[in-house]
Structure 1
């Protein structure tokens, strides 16, 4: 997938994310982002196994939570760092749009992955992405990303079966340009 920056994605849940570009550094490429989140919206609890993520609030009220901890809040000018491997989520806890800038490092496959997740949410029209697309993405990138709230039975039985059925039915042709997963 050849991405031209800035690259903007938007899902049906009120999240708009613009990948502004790539900054090269000694610790790897860093993708620069800007996001706009409508009130009470935000991604579910998730993990980036191989990336750090930082958000700086431009305007609005950011609520964030690390798995097992109480929610915390950040306001304009404050930054929040989510270290790789730490399950976390964030959402707009205010009544106006939340605008943040930030980065994810190293960039790896994050632009492709999130673009595909947003597209799958838009396809389903709800928070749960379209089942075959979700099964493909969660299987292919299982060593890079995790959706913590998926029940173990779904993770270990339903997703693998859905993935295999999708392969048999030829459901994954639109993922032909998917970047290779990290090993």
Structure 2
């Protein structure tokens, strides 16, 4: 899948994300991003096992939370850093559109993954992505990303079963040419 930059994606729940450019650096490609988030919107508790993510608020107020910790907030000019392997979420905690600029490093397959997640949300018309697409993405890219808000049993049993059923039913033809997943040495190692 060939992506040209800038590359903008938008979902049906008020999130717009533009991947502006990729900077080639020794420690991996740094993806420069800009996002716009409607009041109350934002990604649920999730983790990227292999990437750090940094957002600086241009306009508005961001709410964010590291799993197990209290909610925090940042305003214009303030920067929030989410380290790889640390479950987190963020949302627009203000009354106007939240506008941030930042980066993700190393990029790996995050552009494809988030583009596919937004498309699956648009397909379902709600925050929860279309079931088979979600099962494909969460299974194929499990060494890179996880959604911590989904109960463990569902993540470990139901989603892999749904993925297999989707394969049998031929539900994944639109994912032909998807990038190969990056396999982490061990999720446990990343978290320490």
Coarse TM-score class (shorter-chain normalised): over 0.9
Whether 2:94 is the aligned partner of 1:94: answer yes
In structure 2, the residue matched to 1:137 is: 137
Moved more, 21-30 or 39-48: 21-30
**Is 1:27 the counterpart of 2:36 in the alignment?**
no
Give the Cα–Cα distance (whole angstroms) in 1 for the partners of residues 182 and 64 of structure 2: 27
Matched, 1:125 2:119: no
Q: Structure 1 length normalisation: TM-score?
A: 0.99
Q: 2: distance between equivalents of 1:33 and 1:119?
A: 18
User: How far is 1:124 from its partner?
Assistant: 0.3
Q: Does 1:77 align with 2:48?
A: no
**TM superposition shift of 1:45:** 0.4
1:155 is displaced (CA, Å) by: 1.2
- Counterpart position of 2:187: none
2:189 corresponds to which residue? none
Q: SS where residue 42 of structure 1 aligns?
A: coil
- Between the aligned partners of 1:5 and 1:165, the Cα distance in structure 2 is 35
TM-score (norm 2): 0.94
C-alpha distance in structure 1 between counterparts of 2:64 and 2:174, whole Å: 33
Q: Secondary structure at the match of 2:64?
A: strand
Q: Which runs of 4+ in 1 moved over 4 A?
A: none
CA RMSD of aligned residues (A): 0.6
Please name the residue that 2:39 is paired with. Answer: 39
Per the TM alignment, residue 174 of structure 1 is displaced from its structure 2 partner at its CA by: 0.5
Matching residue of 2:151: 151
CA deviation vs aligned residue, 1:30-56 (integer Å, no higher than 9, x gap): 000000000000000000100000000
Deviation at 1:24, TM superposition (A): 1.2
Counterpart CA distance in 2 for 1:62 and 1:155 is 28
CA shift at 1:25, angstroms?
Answer: 1.2
